Protein backbone atom coordinates (compact mmCIF):
# COMPACT_ATOMS: atom_id res chain seq x y z
CA UNK A 1 0.00 0.00 0.00
CA UNK A 2 1.07 3.55 -0.64
CA UNK A 3 2.52 5.57 2.16
CA UNK A 4 -0.27 8.05 1.38
CA UNK A 5 0.35 10.32 4.36
CA UNK A 6 3.90 11.07 3.12
CA UNK A 7 2.69 12.15 -0.32
CA UNK A 8 -0.12 14.24 1.12
CA UNK A 9 2.24 15.84 3.65
CA UNK A 10 4.51 16.84 0.76
CA UNK A 11 1.54 18.33 -1.06
CA UNK A 12 0.48 20.27 2.02
CA UNK A 13 4.04 21.55 2.46
CA UNK A 14 4.15 22.58 -1.19
CA UNK A 15 0.89 24.49 -0.80
CA UNK A 16 2.33 26.33 2.21
CA UNK A 17 5.55 27.23 0.36
CA UNK A 18 3.59 28.46 -2.65
CA UNK A 19 1.52 30.71 -0.40
CA UNK A 20 4.74 32.25 0.93
CA UNK A 21 6.17 32.89 -2.52
CA UNK A 22 8.63 29.98 -2.54
CA UNK A 23 7.48 28.80 -5.93
CA UNK A 24 10.51 26.67 -6.78
CA UNK A 25 10.34 24.78 -3.48
CA UNK A 26 6.61 24.16 -3.93
CA UNK A 27 7.11 23.00 -7.53
CA UNK A 28 9.82 20.51 -6.53
CA UNK A 29 7.72 19.16 -3.62
CA UNK A 30 4.71 18.54 -5.84
CA UNK A 31 6.93 16.62 -8.27
CA UNK A 32 8.36 14.54 -5.43
CA UNK A 33 4.84 13.76 -4.19
CA UNK A 34 3.94 12.62 -7.70
CA UNK A 35 6.99 10.33 -7.75
CA UNK A 36 5.93 8.72 -4.46
CA UNK A 37 2.40 8.19 -5.75
CA UNK A 38 3.59 6.66 -9.03
CA UNK A 39 5.90 4.29 -7.17
CA UNK A 40 2.91 2.84 -5.30
CA UNK A 41 0.51 2.99 -8.25
CA UNK A 42 -1.70 5.70 -6.72
CA UNK A 43 -2.52 7.38 -9.98
CA UNK A 44 -5.11 9.72 -8.47
CA UNK A 45 -2.56 11.24 -6.10
CA UNK A 46 0.01 11.44 -8.89
CA UNK A 47 -2.39 13.34 -11.16
CA UNK A 48 -3.18 15.90 -8.47
CA UNK A 49 0.50 16.48 -7.71
CA UNK A 50 1.48 16.81 -11.38
CA UNK A 51 -1.36 19.22 -12.02
CA UNK A 52 -0.26 21.38 -9.09
CA UNK A 53 3.36 21.40 -10.29
CA UNK A 54 2.29 22.37 -13.82
CA UNK A 55 0.29 25.30 -12.47
CA UNK A 56 3.43 26.68 -10.81
CA UNK A 57 5.74 26.40 -13.82
CA UNK A 58 4.74 29.76 -15.40
CA UNK A 59 5.67 31.47 -12.09
CA UNK A 60 9.15 30.00 -11.80
CA UNK A 61 12.35 32.06 -11.78
CA UNK A 62 15.53 30.28 -12.85
CA UNK A 63 19.22 30.79 -12.16
CA UNK A 64 22.03 29.49 -14.35
CA UNK A 65 25.58 29.36 -12.96
CA UNK A 66 27.90 29.55 -15.97
CA UNK A 67 31.61 28.79 -16.08
CA UNK A 68 33.53 30.63 -18.84
CA UNK A 69 36.07 28.58 -20.74
CA UNK A 70 38.94 30.62 -19.26
CA UNK A 71 38.09 29.29 -15.78
CA UNK A 72 36.96 25.79 -16.72
CA UNK A 73 40.12 24.35 -15.19
CA UNK A 74 40.98 21.18 -13.35
CA UNK A 75 40.04 21.28 -9.68
CA UNK A 76 37.28 23.88 -10.05
CA UNK A 77 34.41 23.35 -7.58
CA UNK A 78 31.20 25.39 -7.85
CA UNK A 79 28.55 25.82 -5.12
CA UNK A 80 25.08 27.32 -5.15
CA UNK A 81 23.56 27.94 -1.72
CA UNK A 82 26.06 25.54 -0.18
CA UNK A 83 25.32 22.67 -2.60
CA UNK A 84 27.99 21.45 -5.01
CA UNK A 85 26.96 21.81 -8.64
CA UNK A 86 28.13 18.94 -10.80
CA UNK A 87 29.74 19.81 -14.11
CA UNK A 88 26.60 18.71 -15.95
CA UNK A 89 24.61 21.39 -14.08
CA UNK A 90 26.95 24.24 -15.07
CA UNK A 91 25.05 26.66 -17.29
CA UNK A 92 21.70 24.91 -16.68
CA UNK A 93 18.79 27.16 -15.73
CA UNK A 94 17.48 25.69 -12.49
CA UNK A 95 14.29 26.89 -10.74
CA UNK A 96 15.07 28.87 -7.57
CA UNK A 97 12.98 30.68 -4.95
CA UNK A 98 12.95 34.48 -5.10
CA UNK A 99 15.50 36.15 -2.80
CA UNK A 100 19.24 36.04 -2.17
CA UNK A 101 21.37 33.16 -3.46
CA UNK A 102 25.05 32.62 -2.69
CA UNK A 103 27.27 31.37 -5.49
CA UNK A 104 30.84 30.35 -4.64
CA UNK A 105 33.70 28.64 -6.42
CA UNK A 106 37.17 27.42 -5.48
CA UNK A 107 40.15 26.79 -7.71
CA UNK A 108 43.55 25.44 -6.62
CA UNK A 109 46.09 28.23 -6.25
CA UNK A 110 43.47 30.97 -6.32
CA UNK A 111 41.49 32.90 -3.74
CA UNK A 112 37.90 31.77 -3.23
CA UNK A 113 35.32 33.49 -5.43
CA UNK A 114 31.99 34.38 -3.79
CA UNK A 115 29.02 36.36 -5.07
CA UNK A 116 25.42 36.95 -3.99
CA UNK A 117 22.66 36.99 -6.62
CA UNK A 118 19.28 38.60 -5.99
CA UNK A 119 16.40 36.88 -7.79
CA UNK A 120 13.25 39.05 -7.89
CA UNK A 121 9.80 37.67 -7.11
CA UNK A 122 8.73 37.33 -10.72
CA UNK A 123 9.21 34.65 -13.37
CA UNK A 124 12.16 34.82 -15.70
CA UNK A 125 15.71 33.58 -16.30
CA UNK A 126 18.77 34.84 -14.43
CA UNK A 127 22.43 33.93 -14.81
CA UNK A 128 25.84 34.57 -13.29
CA UNK A 129 29.33 33.83 -14.63
CA UNK A 130 31.96 32.36 -12.32
CA UNK A 131 35.19 34.34 -12.11
CA UNK A 132 37.52 36.02 -12.48
CA UNK A 133 39.69 34.45 -9.79
CA UNK A 134 42.40 36.39 -8.01
CA UNK A 135 45.70 35.27 -6.57
CA UNK A 136 45.68 34.62 -2.83
CA UNK A 137 47.33 37.21 -0.57
CA UNK A 138 51.08 36.68 -0.07
CA UNK A 139 52.00 34.33 2.74
CA UNK A 140 53.61 35.76 5.85
CA UNK A 141 57.40 35.49 5.56
CA UNK A 142 59.45 33.42 7.96
CA UNK A 143 61.37 36.49 9.09
CA UNK A 144 58.21 38.24 10.23
CA UNK A 145 57.15 35.13 12.14
CA UNK A 146 60.40 34.81 14.07
CA UNK A 147 61.29 38.43 14.65
CA UNK A 148 60.37 39.77 18.04
CA UNK A 149 57.90 42.65 18.13
CA UNK A 150 59.25 46.07 18.90
CA UNK A 151 59.01 47.00 22.57
CA UNK A 152 56.14 49.24 23.49
CA UNK A 153 56.31 51.72 26.31
CA UNK A 154 53.11 51.79 28.31
CA UNK A 155 52.40 54.68 30.65
CA UNK A 156 52.57 53.71 34.29
CA UNK A 157 49.82 55.08 36.44
CA UNK A 158 51.17 57.07 39.39
CA UNK A 159 50.93 55.36 42.74
CA UNK A 160 48.11 56.78 44.84
CA UNK A 161 49.46 59.24 47.39
CA UNK A 162 46.92 58.13 49.98
CA UNK A 163 44.89 54.94 49.79
CA UNK A 164 41.20 54.62 50.53
CA UNK A 165 41.81 52.34 53.54
CA UNK A 166 44.34 54.73 55.07
CA UNK A 167 41.99 57.65 54.52
CA UNK A 168 39.19 55.78 56.29
CA UNK A 169 41.58 54.98 59.16
CA UNK A 170 42.53 58.62 59.54
CA UNK A 171 38.91 59.75 59.53
CA UNK A 172 37.96 57.18 62.16
CA UNK A 173 41.00 58.12 64.21
CA UNK A 174 40.06 61.79 64.09
CA UNK A 175 36.47 61.00 65.04
CA UNK A 176 37.68 58.76 67.88
CA UNK A 177 40.04 61.39 69.29
CA UNK A 178 37.29 63.99 69.05
CA UNK A 179 34.96 61.67 70.97
CA UNK A 180 37.58 61.13 73.67
CA UNK A 181 38.07 64.89 73.95
CA UNK A 182 34.35 65.52 74.28
CA UNK A 183 33.98 62.69 76.79
CA UNK A 184 36.86 64.01 78.87
CA UNK A 185 35.40 67.49 78.89
CA UNK A 186 31.96 66.37 80.06
CA UNK A 187 33.49 63.97 82.58
CA UNK A 188 35.45 66.79 84.21
CA UNK A 189 32.41 69.05 83.99
CA UNK A 190 30.25 66.45 85.81
CA UNK A 191 32.51 66.74 88.85
CA UNK A 192 31.47 70.37 89.29
CA UNK A 193 27.72 69.77 88.89
CA UNK A 194 24.98 68.32 91.05
CA UNK A 195 21.70 66.52 90.48
CA UNK A 196 20.31 66.04 86.97
CA UNK A 197 22.97 68.21 85.35
CA UNK A 198 25.67 65.96 86.75
CA UNK A 199 23.85 62.84 85.52
CA UNK A 200 23.44 64.31 82.03
CA UNK A 201 27.12 65.25 81.77
CA UNK A 202 28.13 61.82 83.06
CA UNK A 203 25.94 60.10 80.42
CA UNK A 204 27.37 62.24 77.62
CA UNK A 205 30.89 61.62 78.88
CA UNK A 206 30.40 57.86 79.03
CA UNK A 207 28.86 57.64 75.55
CA UNK A 208 31.50 59.91 74.00
CA UNK A 209 34.38 58.02 75.58
CA UNK A 210 32.98 54.65 74.47
CA UNK A 211 32.29 55.80 70.91
CA UNK A 212 35.58 57.67 70.66
CA UNK A 213 37.55 54.72 71.96
CA UNK A 214 35.89 52.33 69.49
CA UNK A 215 36.43 54.65 66.54
CA UNK A 216 40.05 55.25 67.52
CA UNK A 217 40.69 51.51 67.82
CA UNK A 218 39.13 50.74 64.43
CA UNK A 219 40.96 53.62 62.80
CA UNK A 220 44.26 52.37 64.19
CA UNK A 221 43.60 48.88 62.81
CA UNK A 222 42.86 50.30 59.36
CA UNK A 223 46.03 52.42 59.43
CA UNK A 224 48.21 49.50 60.52
CA UNK A 225 46.87 47.13 57.88
CA UNK A 226 46.73 49.65 54.99
CA UNK A 227 49.29 49.57 52.13
CA UNK A 228 52.27 51.82 52.66
CA UNK A 229 51.71 55.44 51.68
CA UNK A 230 52.82 58.88 52.71
CA UNK A 231 52.60 59.28 56.47
CA UNK A 232 50.68 61.98 58.23
CA UNK A 233 52.81 64.69 59.75
CA UNK A 234 50.61 65.36 62.78
CA UNK A 235 47.12 65.10 64.27
CA UNK A 236 46.12 67.74 66.83
CA UNK A 237 43.06 67.35 69.04
CA UNK A 238 41.96 70.07 71.44
CA UNK A 239 39.03 69.88 73.90
CA UNK A 240 37.67 72.92 75.65
CA UNK A 241 34.45 74.08 77.28
CA UNK A 242 33.49 75.65 73.94
CA UNK A 243 33.80 72.30 72.13
CA UNK A 244 36.41 70.06 70.54
CA UNK A 245 38.67 70.90 67.58
CA UNK A 246 40.76 68.56 65.46
CA UNK A 247 43.68 69.41 63.20
CA UNK A 248 45.20 66.99 60.66
CA UNK A 249 48.48 67.85 58.95
CA UNK A 250 49.95 65.74 56.20
CA UNK A 251 49.91 64.95 52.51
CA UNK A 252 46.87 63.19 50.98
pLDDT number for residue 161: 55
Express each pLDDT in 45-83 by its tens digit.
Answer: 899 999 999 999 999 999 999 999 999 999 999 999 999
In 139-242 the beta strands, taken as DSSP E runs, fall at 232-240
pLDDT of residue 1: 40
Mean pLDDT over the full length of the chain: 79
Of 156, 174, 159, which Cα lies nearest the Cα of 232?
174
- What is the band of 156 on the pLDDT scale with cuts at 50, 70, 90? low
pLDDT confidence of residue 171: 74
User: Which is more confident, 82 or 160?
Assistant: 82
Q: Which pLDDT belongs to residue 185?
A: 75
Entry pTM: 0.51
What is the spatial distance between Cα 45 and Cα 37, in angstroms, rounded to a whole number? 6
Comparing 14-28, 88-102, 154-168, 231-245, the range with the smallest average pLDDT is 231-245
Give me the pLDDT at residue 230, please: 47
pLDDT of residue 79: 96
The confidence score (pLDDT) of residue 172 equals 67
Banded model confidence at residue 247, pLDDT cuts 50, 70, 90: low
Backbone angles phi, psi at 151, to 5 degrees: -65, 145
Instruction: Go through the domains of the chain in sequence order and give each one's CATH number.
Output: 4-59 (no CATH), 61-129 (2.60.40), 164-250 (no CATH)
Q: Is 164 helix (H, G, I), strand (E, B) or coil?
A: helix
Task: Give dist(CA 76, CA 12) in Å, integer.
Answer: 39
The phi and psi torsions of 7 (rounded to 5 degrees) equal -65, -40
Q: What percent of the chain has pLDDT over 90?
A: 43
Residue 233 has pLDDT above 50, yes or no: no
For 239, other C-beta atoms within 10 Å of its C-beta total: 19
Closest CA to 25 of 3, 10, 45: 10
Model confidence at 204, pLDDT cuts 50, 70, 90, reads confident
pLDDT mean over 22-39: 92
Share of the chain above pLDDT 70, in %: 69
For 15, 26, 27, 33, 119, the CA distances from 19, given in Å and listed in that order, are: 6, 9, 12, 18, 18
CA pair distance 226, 173, nearest whole angstrom: 14
CA nearest neighbour of 23 among 63, 73, 61:
61
Judge whether 173 and 219 are in contact, CB under 8 Å: yes
Amino acid sequence: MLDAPAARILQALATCHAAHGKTASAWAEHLEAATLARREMRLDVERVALRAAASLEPQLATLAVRVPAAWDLEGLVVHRDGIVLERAAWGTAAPVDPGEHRVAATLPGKAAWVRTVHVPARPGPHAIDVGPFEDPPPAVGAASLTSAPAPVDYPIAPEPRFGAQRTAGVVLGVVGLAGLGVGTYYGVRALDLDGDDAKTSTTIATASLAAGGGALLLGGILLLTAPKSRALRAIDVTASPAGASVGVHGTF
